[in-house]
């Protein structure tokens, strides 16, 4: 399904929204994150895929590859860690601790009993556990029945206590909040609810790093230059990533911002349903998708405040379309580098292909031969066994092909 958003406008960035998320605060988060040794040094690649662009009938296709951000490869390492640091700085304000010292573990002795808890589909929990281990505090992660043992083990490897419940992602969010209230723990969630917005805001603000890097890598340094992209296709989920990206672009370019399209699994269409209802709403499906990171049933109300006026279209893709996109991006081409794109990471590509294959959708999305499209590969093979099963080759094989391709340029 593809719908246009009746609430979308082209205007300068709303002053009230800027008080919540801004380029200035995103840049501060970016500077703080640079002190975390878990992250790869420098920006993640912005790959140009001219062969795939030609196949889609557009001028340019750029893929921001967050699989390279940190092991095991997910954009979530930009959100949970910065939210955790900001939480600790607020809780221990009198200490005047810095992000550099916290990420270096210099205050671990004083934080040994400080406990954070969160629900996850996999990547957010992994990122929070990794940050907690670096900082020296305790971490509890609540997972649901659809999270693979492979993902659960990767979280536990960072010393987190993993609790599995019999329910879906939304049930795990409720359980994490219950445990926090019972034990005096601190919830570090990437979704918001009534009375809980400060930490989700910090999570979303961390994602601004992706937008900042992509803009710089595409050769645009400020709002005085034209936006290098006409379209940005973004993953759905609860809406946090999309909100972090659209807020950055909208503040920078206002009425000249790119067209934003959000892509979700058919079974987890909470953002599309929010556009139809014109308020934060629930998904209509089972919320059980191979795109595990996007298998969310409830829109984050805070994220929706940013998406409602800025996202031009919402669409859904099915699991088979996502799997096909994984294989396409892994194969590469004569001029296209092979990329390890995870099940949720390729949602934007799956959406681009769906738009190309449906003339009516393509027209409503204003995609044409002059379009310059940005996609974000939000994850690599975060579940290597599943990746191999779906793609028919291992992530290591694809990475080897990537190395060969880039060395032959």
- Domain positions in the chain are 2-73+208-407, 80-189
pLDDT one-digit tens code per residue, 40-86: 999 999 999 999 999 999 999 999 999 999 987 899 999 999 999 99
pLDDT of residue 195: 93
**For residue 244, what is the enclosing H or E element?**
helix 240-253
Q: Mind listing the pLDDT tens digit for each residue in 270-315? A: 999 999 999 999 999 998 899 999 999 999 999 999 999 999 999 9
Class of domain 2-73+208-407: alpha beta
Q: Which residues are catalytic?
A: 76, 121
Cβ neighbours for 409, distance < 8 A, ≥ 6 positions apart: none
Backbone angles phi, psi at 92, to 5 degrees: -120, 45
Lowest mean pLDDT among 125-134, 222-231, 398-407: 222-231
Name which of 109, 104, 107 is nearest 95 in CA terms: 107
Q: Pick 80-189's CATH classification: 3.30.830.10, 3.40.50.620, 2.60.120.330, 3.40.50.1100.
A: 3.40.50.1100
Q: Would the pLDDT of 180 be above 80? A: yes
Share of the chain above pLDDT 90, in %: 92
Average pLDDT over residues 315-341: 98
**What mean pLDDT is predicted for residues 350-358?**
96
User: Three-class SS of residue 218?
Assistant: coil
Q: Are 2-73+208-407 and 80-189 the same fold in CATH?
A: yes
Taking CA atoms, 54 is separated from 258, 345, 377, in Å, by 20, 21, 19
Give the C-alpha separation, 361 to 355, whole Å: 5
What's the pTM value of the predicted model, to 2 decimals? 0.95
Summary mean pLDDT of the chain = 96
pLDDT digit string, tens, across residues 310-320: 999 999 999 99
Kindly state the average pLDDT of the residues 359-382. Answer: 96
Q: Is the dihedral of CA 31, 37, 42, 47 positive or negative?
A: negative
Helix (H) or strand (E) holding 276: helix 270-277
Query: What are the residue ranges of helices labelled H in 79-207?
Result: 80-91, 99-103, 123-135, 149-156, 169-183, 198-206
Residue 221 has pLDDT above 80, yes or no: no
């Amino acid at each position: 399904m593809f719908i246009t958003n009746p609430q979308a406008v082209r205007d300068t960035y709303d002053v009230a929204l800027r008080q919540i998320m801004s380029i200035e605060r995103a840049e501060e988060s970016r500077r703080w994150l640079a002190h975390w040794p878990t992250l790869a040094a420098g920006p993640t690649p912005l790959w140009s895929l001219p062969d795939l662009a030609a196949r889609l009938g557009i001028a340019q296709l750029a893929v921001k590859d967050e699989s390279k951000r940190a092991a095991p490869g997910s954009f979530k390492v930009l959100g949970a860690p910065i939210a955790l640091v900001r939480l600790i700085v607020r809780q221990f304000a009198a200490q005047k601790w810095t992000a550099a010292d916290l990420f270096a573990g210099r205050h671990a002795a004083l934080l040994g009993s400080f406990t954070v808890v969160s629900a996850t589909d996999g990547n957010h929990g992994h990122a929070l556990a990794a940050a907690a281990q670096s900082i020296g505090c305790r971490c509890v992660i609540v997972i649901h029945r659809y999270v693979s043992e492979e993902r659960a083990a990767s979280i536990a490897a960072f010393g987190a206590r993993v609790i599995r419940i019999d329910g879906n992602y939304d049930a795990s969010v409720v359980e994490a909040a219950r445990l926090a209230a019972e034990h005096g723990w601190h919830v570090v969630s990437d979704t918001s609810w009534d009375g809980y917005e400060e930490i989700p805001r910090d999570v979303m603000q961390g994602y601004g790093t992706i937008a900042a890097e992509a803009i710089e890598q595409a050769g645009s340094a400020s709002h005085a230059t034209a936006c290098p992209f006409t379209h940005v296709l973004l993953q759905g989920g609860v809406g946090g990533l999309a909100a972090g990206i659209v807020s950055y672009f909208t503040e920078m370019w206002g009425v000249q911002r790119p067209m934003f399209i959000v892509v979700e699994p058919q079974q987890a269409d909470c953002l599309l349903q929010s556009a139809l209802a014109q308020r934060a709403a629930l998904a209509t499906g089972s919320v059980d998708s191979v795109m595990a990171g996007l298998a969310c049933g409830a829109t984050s109300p805070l994220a929706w405040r940013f998406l409602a006026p800025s996202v031009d279209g919402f669409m859904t893709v099915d699991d088979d379309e996502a799997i096909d996109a994984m294989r396409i991006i892994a194969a590469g081409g004569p001029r296209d580098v092979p990329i390890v794109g995870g099940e949720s990471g390729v949602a934007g590509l799956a959406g681009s292909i769906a738009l190309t294959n449906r003339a009516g959708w393509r027209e409503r999305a204003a995609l044409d031969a002059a379009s310059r499209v940005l996609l974000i590969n939000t994850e690599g093979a975060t579940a290597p066994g599943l990746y191999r099963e779906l793609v028919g080759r291992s992530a290591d094989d694809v990475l080897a092909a990537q190395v060969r391709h880039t060395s032959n340029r």
